[in-house]
Amino acid sequence: MQTHNVPHNLQKRVQRWYDYVWSRGRLNGCDINSLGLLPDKLKTELAIHVNLETLKKDKRCGCYCRGLEISD
C-alpha cells in the first residue's frame, strides 16, 4: 500500500480489518495477503485509490473522474 501511496487512514482501516479477521480465527487457511478477505467496500476504495490516476487518463472508455466519483 505504501508503494501506491495509499492514504494512511485507508491503510489503517485495512490493517484493522485483517487484525479483526485474524483475532476471530476466520482466515481458514486463506493467504493473509489476499485482498479477497476484505469487505467489498474496502476493496473498492483501495482499487479506486490505486487505479485513480489511470482512470483519469483513460480516454478510451469515454469516462472522466471527479474526486472518487466516476461519471460518464
For the chain, the average pLDDT equals 76
pLDDT at 4: 75
pLDDT at 9: 93
Nearest one of 13, 49, 21, 23 to 37, comparing CA atoms: 21
Listed as ranges, residues in the chain with pLDDT below 50 are 68, 70-72
Q: Residue 72 in contact with residue 62, Cβ under 8 Å?
A: yes
Q: What is the pTM of this model?
A: 0.63
pLDDT at 8: 92
pLDDT at 35: 78
pLDDT at 47: 87
